[in-house]
Structures are given as C-alpha cells and as structure tokens.
Structure 1
Amino acid sequence: MQAKSSALMHTVLMRWIGKTLILLGLIASIGSLWSETAWALYAPIYQYHEIMRLVEGLVPYYPFVPYLPMFLIAAGAYLIAKSSA
C-alpha cells in the first residue's frame, strides 16, 4: 500500500510541476514582458566585459532569451506525458 501511495504522490507532483512549467512558459511568451525582464537581468553583466566574454564562451548561442518560454512549455508537456504513461 505504501508503494502505491508513493507512486501516486510522485505522479501528482510531476503533473503539478508540468502544469506550472507550462503556465510559466505561456506567461513568459505573451508580449515582450519576458524579453524586457531578461534583458534587464543581463544589463549588469554587460557592464563588465570580461564576464560577458566568459558567459559567451560558456553559452555559444548567447543570448538564448526567446527560447526559454518554448523550453518551459515543452518540458512541462514532457513531464505531464511521462507521468501519464
């Protein structure tokens, strides 16, 4: 009985996380709110050129801002589908 309860809790948690990720992805993709927020967060990094070179070296396709909402939606859908199977 304990194993069944644990599996059910895991499924519910995975679905909840998936729905939350999809909701965040949809909110982030509406309008320019996401890109404005992301660029505001990147602004302090731009002040220091050495840090920018390090970030661009670690992340080849920097900035990858437009892809994060799409990634959140895809990850959420994957978690929901995986927990249903």
Structure 2
Amino acid sequence: MLIPKLLLPVLVYEISTSTVESIEGKISRFTRKWLGVPPGLTDVAMICRKAKLRLPLKSIVEDYKYGKATLMTMFEDSEDPAVRSIQP
C-alpha cells in the first residue's frame, strides 16, 4: 500500500536513482526489523518471486525504473505532437 503512494511523486518529479535506492534501503531496514529477520538476510530473499516462501514485497527501485520506462513510452507513442516533442 505504501509503494504506489511513494512511486507517484517519485515518477513525476526528477529524483535520481541513488535517492530511490537510499529510500529502499531505509524501508528494507525497517521491514527487516519489523519482520524480526536477521540483518544478514539479503534483499533477494525478501523480494524473490520464485522462492517457495514468498513475501508480498516489491523492489522500489525496479518499480521506479519500470515507471520511468513506461512514462518515456507514453511520451514517445502519444498521438499529440506537442506531447511527443517533450524531452523528459
């Protein structure tokens, strides 16, 4: 529920990938503390979609990159020439 609310401003405004990575690190740290897992548990174990024990967690950085790519495609494939000429 937090990620969609977080991603909209991140996609609209110019925020660097390193900033999004630091936000994900902070969220990951608090999530680990809340779940009570050891700090050595990797992000792969928490975000993996193919593991037998899957947690309903998503990577914010992956969603950020996917959202930016979608935004670029929407600008490039727009019917309106004014929108198509925008250089994000």
TM-score bracket for this pair, using the shorter chain length: 0.3 to 0.5
Q: Which has the higher helix share?
A: 1
Give TM-score, length-normalised by structure 1: 0.36
Q: Larger Cα Rg: Structure 1 or Structure 2?
A: 1
Q: Which structure ranks higher in relative contact order (CA pairs < 8 Å, sequence separation ≥ 6)? A: 1
Give TM-score, length-normalised by structure 2: 0.35
